[in-house]
Amino acid sequence: MKRTNLLTLMLGLVLVIALVAGCAAPAAPAAPAADEGAAAEEAAPAEAGEAPAADAIYIPVISKGFQHQFWQAVESGAQQAADDLGVEITFEGPETEAMVDRQIEMLQAALAKDPSAICFAALDTQAAIPLLEEANSRGIPIVGFDSGVDSDIPVATAATDNVAAAALAADKMAELIGDEGKVAVLVHDQTSRTGIDRRDGFLNQMAEAHPNIEIVNVDYGAGDQLKST
């Protein structure tokens, strides 16, 4: 019964995260590059702090980063859900969405605190699996959000159907250019499930439904606005 209640709390937490993030306002204009670095360092501390009291329900939430306004909305949703459900959370992510190793360090540090459960948005579909296996062996439930892993260890994953969303984007692009021409594709990354599914969903829909459109290049921005532009 205790495990069932904990899973219910976790799913409620992730659902509120998803709802608040989905309702986030459009991104504001980017700040100067020098300010972005300082803000990221302040928002993503190296340590999540001391472990909470043994009798508290504690759930670390590990995101893919703090670089974009989206993740700030996710953090707000996570804290709102924690307050509503009466649980304690920490929220952190690496300074950029290219820092897979840093995210793995955060996951390892979270496990060391023996949490009640973990919410995890993976930067890489494979890299975290050994630590997720450790969590599973210790009876620590994992719920994925935004970006999943190539494993059935997470008890649930709250995410967009990125293949379908990317297919819709391909159809809209085709409509805008008269269903013919040349298109270059810039993907935010090539390691996360979101990046892979969005790329493949777009390219496959173009190939199947819009054969008169040529894909001239596929490149990756590593979640970095400056690199992407």
Residue type (1 letter), 30: A
Q: What is the pLDDT along the chain (229 residues), one digit of tens a residue?
A: 445 455 555 555 555 454 434 434 333 333 333 344 443 444 444 444 555 555 789 999 999 998 778 899 999 999 999 999 999 999 999 998 889 999 999 999 999 999 999 999 999 999 999 999 999 999 999 999 999 999 999 999 998 899 999 999 999 999 999 999 999 999 988 888 889 999 999 999 999 999 999 999 999 987 777 777 7
Distance CA 85, CA 102 (A): 29
Q: Could you tell me which residues are beta bridge partners of residue 90? A: 60
> What CATH class has 2-26+36-46+57-158?
alpha beta
Within this chain, domains 2-26+36-46+57-158 and 162-228 share the same CATH topology? yes
Alpha helix segments (H runs only) across the chain: 2-22, 33-43, 69-85, 100-112, 129-137, 162-176, 193-209, 225-228
Contacts of 46 (CB under 8 A, 6+ apart): none
Beta strand 118-120 with 58-62 is parallel
Contacts of 95 (CB under 8 A, 6+ apart): 37, 40, 41, 44, 65, 66, 67, 102
Crossing angle of helices 129-137 and 100-112, in 10° steps, is 10
DSSP symbol at 98: T
Considering the domain delimited by 162-228, tell me its CATH architecture: 3-Layer(aba) Sandwich (3.40)
The whole-number pLDDT of residue 14 equals 53
Q: Domain spans of the chain?
A: 2-26+36-46+57-158, 162-228
The whole-number pLDDT of residue 226 equals 74
Q: Are 98 and 187 in contact (CB under 8 A)?
A: no
pTM higher than the cut 0.75: no
